[in-house]
A and B are shown apart, each in its own frame.
Chain A
Amino acid sequence: MIKWIPRIVLILILLTLLTGSFLHAQQRFPKPEFDTGYVQPDPSTPEPRAMAMEYFDVLVLLVVLSLASWLAIKKRSRRGLLWLSVFSLIYFGFYRDGCICSVGAIQNVALSIFDPGYAISITALLFFVLPLLFALFFGRVFCASACPLGAIQDLLVIHPISIPSWIRKTLGFIPLIYLALSVLFAATGSDFIICRYDPFIGIFRMDGPFLMIFLGMTFLFLGMFYARPYCRIFCPYGVLLGWMSKFSKWHMSITPSECIKCKLCEDSCPFDAIEVPIEQSYRDPEVSRKNLRRFIFYIAMIPLLTLAGGWTGAKSNVFLSRVHPDVYLAELMISNPELREDEENLDIQAFLEAGLTFEQLIEKAAVIREKFRKGGMAMGGFIGLALGITLMNQVVFRRREDYKPHKGDCFSCGRCMDYCPVGKIVNSA
Chain B
Amino acid sequence: MDKQNKSKDKGVKRRDFINTGVRLALGVSVVGTAAFTLKRSSTGKDYVWQIDPFKCTQCGRCATECVKAESAVKCVHAYALCGYCDLCGGYFKPGAKLETGAENQLCPTGAIQRKFIEEPYFEYVIDEALCIGCAKCVKGCSAFGNGSLHLQIRHDLCLNCNQCSIASVCPSDAISRVPADEPYKIKGDFIIEKEV
Contacts and interface: CB of A to CB of B under 8 A. Distances in A.
Interface of A: 21-22, 24-25, 27-32, 34-36, 38, 40-43, 45-49, 51, 54, 97, 99-101, 104-105, 107-109, 112-113, 116, 118-125, 128-129, 132-133, 136, 191-192, 195-196, 201-202, 205, 207-209, 243-244, 247-249, 325, 346-347, 349-351, 353-354
A99 B159 contact: yes
Contact of B67 (A42, A46, A205, A248): A205
A120 B30 contact: no
Nearest to A116: B40
B46 A123 contact: yes
**Minimum-distance CB pairs A-B, first 6:** A29-B83, A350-B171, A192-B163, A46-B156, A48-B155, A119-B41
B121 A34 contact: yes
Given A43-B76, A104-B162, A208-B67, A51 B61 contact: no
Nearest to A201: B67
A346 B46 contact: no
Contact of B38 (A46, A125, A205): A125
B93 interface: no
Among the interface residues B33, B67, B81, which one has the most CB atoms of the partner chain A within 10 A? B67
A163 B172 CA distance: 48
6 contacts: A32-B83, A43-B78, A116-B41, A121-B46, A247-B23, A325-B168
Interface string B113-150: 00001100101010000000000000000001111000
Contacts of B117: 34, 36, 38
Contacts of B54: 21, 24
A108 B180 CA distance: 17
A41 B84 CA distance: 13
Contacts of A195: 161-163
Interface bracket on B: 35 or more
B94 interface: no
A324 B123 CA distance: 43
B37 interface: yes
B118 A35 contact: yes
Among the interface residues A41, A48, A205, A350, which one has the most CB atoms of the partner chain B within 10 A? A48
B77 to A, nearest CB: 6
B41 A112 contact: yes
B20 to A, nearest CB: 8
Among the interface residues A108, A119, A353, which one has the most CB atoms of the partner chain B within 10 A? A119
B18 to A, nearest CB: 9
B165 interface: yes
A155 B118 CA distance: 64
Contacts of A42: 79
A388 to B, nearest CB: 18
Interface in B157-196: 158-163, 165, 168-169, 171-172, 177, 180, 183-184, 186, 191, 194-195
A169 B52 CA distance: 48
A31 B46 contact: no
A207 B147 contact: no
Nearest to B45: A119
A112 B59 CA distance: 29
Contacts of A247: 19, 22-23, 26
Among the interface residues B37, B43, B77, B180, which one has the most CB atoms of the partner chain A within 10 A? B37
